[in-house]
Every structure is written in C-alpha cells, then in structure tokens.
Chains A and B, each alone.
Chain A
Amino acid sequence: MQSFAHGAEREMDTRRSGPEPSTANDGRVPIRAFYAEEPVLDESPLSAWHRERLRLGPPFRPKAMVYTGIGTPEDTARRLKLLFDVGAESLLLAWDLPAQLGLDPDHELAYAQVGRAGVSCATLDDWRTIASGVDLRRIDSIGTLANSVGHIGTSMVRTVLEERQAAQTKLVMQNDPLKEFTARGTEICTPEQALRIACDCVAQAVDMDWPGYAITVCSNHYDVAGAGPLTATGLALANAVAYVDELVERGYDVRAVLSKMMFFLNERSDIFVQASLFRTTRVLWSDLVAKRYGVPVRDQPVVAMMGYAHGLESPDEPLVNVPRVTLSVTGSMLGGVDYLCAAGYDEALRTPSADAAAMAVRTLQVVGMEQGVTSSLDPLSGSAKIQAIDEHVYTTVDAVVADILERGGGVECIHSGYVAGLIDQGRGTREGQLDRGERTWVGVNAVRADAHRGLFKGQSQRELDFEQTEHEVRARLQAHRRARHTTSLRRALVAVEGAAAGTVNLLPPTREALLEGATVQELMEATMSGFTRGSSS
C-alpha cells in the first residue's frame, strides 16, 4: 500500500507550489501540489495549514479510518484483520451501547443491546482480544468512542498500546461527552462531571505526551440530531471552548491542549458546502483561539479534522449508496480532512456487513489515490463559489458560537435547554425539503424503479446471531469475575472512587483497576460514587 508520509524528508519550497508538477495522467497535464498565487502569510490560518501539509508533499490524502465493532471481541478482531488487510490505516472502535453507558453485558438494561451497535467490551481482556486483530505498531492511530466513560476507554487503549510496544501509535479518542446530552444520548453523569472526565483524558495525554488526539470534538451528532451542519459546527466549537477553558483553568498550556484535540465535522448534502465546512472551520477555530486565548496563529498547532462520509442513504437500493458516499468522500478530501471514515452502503439497514465495510475502505482509497482528488492541496481555493460559501459558513457558525458563549457557554446551555432548542429548530429540515420536492433523492422521490430494486441490493446480510453473542459474552464475563483477586480489585476500585471524589486525575487509578480485572460497570459505579461523595463533602 502506498505510504502517505513518504515525502516527509523532501526539500521543497513550502511557500510556493510544492514539488515539481506531476504529469501522471493520460494527457500528461502538469498538476502542481499547490496553486495559491499570493505569498503565504504567517498570520493566516489557511496558510499555516498549507505550509505544514506542503512540507509532507502530495498526495494530500487523509488516513483511511474505519469505524467498526460488532458482536464478541473475537468477531471484531476478525473484522479488523479483514479491514486492515485491505488497507485501513486508522481505527475508531465502536463499543456497544451497554459499554458506552457503563453497563456490563449482564446488566438488565443490556438485554438485546449486547454486541449490536458495536462490540461488547467489558474488560481490559476484551480490549486485548479485540486489538489482537490489528498490528498496532503498523497502523497510524487507534481509539474508541467512550464519551461518557472516557477515562475507561482511554486507559484501555493506552494500556494495550504499551503492552504491545506500540506506544508511539497515535490516539484518536472521541471523548466528547458534552454532545451526548442533547445529540447522541449516552450521557451518564452531570455535564460538569462529564467535562471533568473528558479533561482528565486530555490532561493525562499532555502529561504523558501521548501522541495523537485524546479528544475529538464533534459536530456530526448535532447535525444528525437535526441541528443542521452549520449550527452543529457552532455547537461543537462552543463545546471545544468549554474543554479548553477547563484545562486552562487547571493550568495547562493552551497550545499543549490544542495539540491533543481534533474536530469531527459533518455535512452530507452538498460536496462544496462539505469542503467549505472543513476549510472554514480551520479559520474560524484559529481566529477564536487567537482572540480568546491570545495565541497567535503562527504559534497554534494546525487543527486536525476528522470526517465520516455519508450521503442521503437509502435502505431500498443500498448499492446506490456507494456513489453517494464516494461523492461525500470527495467533498471531504477537497476540503482537506485529515482522518476520514466512509459509510458502509448498508448502514441504513444494519451494522455494516463485511463486504460493505471493505467497500468503504476501498472507496476511501480510490478517491484518495486515483483521479487526482488529492494531488493538490486545497484545490478549491480561489474559486468564487467556494469563497462565497466560505463567507456564509463562517458568518453563520461564528454567530452560533458567539451566541452560546454569550449565554454562558456549552455547559450552561445544556442546563438551560438552549442547545436542545437549537436542535429542535433545525429538526426536519431535510425531510421537509424532500417532501416538498426541493431536493432530489434518486430512486425515492425521483426516477423510481421499484420493480428493479433487486439490482441494487448488494450482498449485505445479517452475519451474527446476537442472542448467541449475548450468551457468549455473559459467560465470558462470569468466568472473568471468578478469576480475579478480589482484595486487590477492591483496593483499586476504592482508589478510583477516591480520585473521583477529589481532583486527582482519574486515569492512573482507572488503569490500575483495569489491570486488576475491573469491569466497565464496576469502574463507572466507583467513579459515580466518588463524584457523589465529592459533591456532598
């Protein structure tokens, strides 16, 4: 597989057009790495981005990330081996909902939810098994969602990386619990406690100088919940301010914090708006950081961006979702995304089957490696159309951020219901546009060919017996519990509770408890117990 960072050692003029033009196309047309006409300005956020990426040289391709996880740890290990065999470079592991909510698979609320929306992962041993499907030293990065249980997920990921001598592999943790309260729904504790957990993860990453991103602040889920992509981005930036403010309050250097933070943006209806959203958010966030924290652009780390390419996916003709996702991948890459997942063509039907997940990786590769999409950096720069869209995106998103900050910030606006109200205002926009025929949905509200839907089914099918999955992981968990040393486990959980009750970072005791065999639920119960004790003392 082609290496992305092969140009790191190249000498090139980063202020002009990059290396010699490539003529690797049928017409031997010279294609430059960069087309900006004006000298790069040190104080421009886009220029800072250009300068850093040009240093690496073309292709300007994001890492091919997979978001996957299903069934038992062994099922997911097999899936991961397949996806990395076909060239995935980065893993964002999907935990099932019980794990994301701090519940073990035998909790009464976990029934019929185990291993479905992600992999069942209750212990460090489970994570070790999952990661056995991946060569951790060769991949670019690894992470999981673990938003409300971020200290547990982050500790699991880092522990296994270190056990496997892969400590330099980057983190791509989501760890953004504030958006859960209104957009995604796995909140467990109060917004303030959630903020504490997320910031403990970032603080530990700074303290230990862990490579990669300990937090990924998301607009995606706000958009999906109904806010629309621009309001969603404003909400995400306001949350990012809440996290950074908290860490600055703790005494951390802003630049160190920013170097551990990534954004996850989303737009799925227009590839030009999608491209604009990525490049404009770079500018907006950089301006915000300069203004709020007094860090000039030249001293800011270049913002990392993640995306998840979706289109207007149809469950009726799933194979037709492949070109939809391909276009969305294209828009994201034109906008300069750094990490990109692509939706499986069957995501409207089920957790992607193996063929759909592999096709998603191939889609990322084809767009990233063929037909010139990534041969020039920021190729839409200079377009009158993109400039006009950029201006609209900037103004709109900036207004949302200013509004939230004026109302006390992201946490306060969760409590006041303001964030939920903004989402309510936007909900149904897409459906209304489709109902009124303002937007076209091929095969649904235009060019329907119901008699021929079979042509577009693909091979996707249910692959697991989830009742069997639940049975297996519960039996595994019971055996795990019997094998533990209860005295040392109890001591380790008391340490987690003590940290939660005070201000000591949660991650070190969490890691120790994991090594003693603590389960996700036991750790979350100890954490919540500590939070309660701390708030009442």
Chain B
Amino acid sequence: MKNDFNDVQNLDSLLENFLQEAPIEDQDFSYRVMQSLPTPSRWSWMVDVLPSFLLSAILFCGWHYHKIVVQSFFMYRAEFYGWLRDQVPSFSISMSYGTLAGLAALVFFIVMDKVTGEIHSK
C-alpha cells in the first residue's frame, strides 16, 4: 500500500507508531546492569568505624592514663603558655582546659569528617 508521506498527519502517525514501540520485557538486562554496578570495597566498613574507634581509643586511654596525661600537660603547660605568650601577647592564660579540649575535639571531628567524606566520594 502506498503511503502519502506528503500528508503531515500521515507522517505524524507513522512516526508515533514507529517510535512508540511495545515495552521491552526481559530480566537479563536489569541483571546485567546490577552486575556492572560498583561493589563496595571490602574495607569500606573500616571507614565508617574508624572515627568512632579513634575517638573511643582516645577517651579510653585518656581515662586510664589521665594522671600521666594531666601531669604531662601540667609539666609542659608553663612552657606552652610561655611560648604562646611570646607568639600572641594578648593571649589570656585563663583559657580553660575545657575550651582547649573542645577546640581539639572540633578540629578532630572536622578533619575526620573531611577524610571520611573524601573517601566515600571516591
């Protein structure tokens, strides 16, 4: 049968019929796609656990050896503050240990978050 391709409506319906085909149903394709997905590294669980593990280790050691830690800190405190005073004359010695500990924890979390984030994004 001859088609009148000059007829715009005829061409439109031809294109619709041609382009709107029956759905392709086969499970092999989805299986193939799933097989090609990147699998998580066997060590990826370590990345999730590492920050908590390190923090726990620090807290554990700090609790058990706090005397040594505190003594060491006091021992070097004067020297440290002296050095700090030389660097920043307006620095107040009244800065509490809590603030220092808080700042250290903050830096620790920021660094760990950045490190683990970068590892995850790879």
Bound pair: A and B?
A: no
Residues on A lying within 8 angstroms of B by beta carbon are none
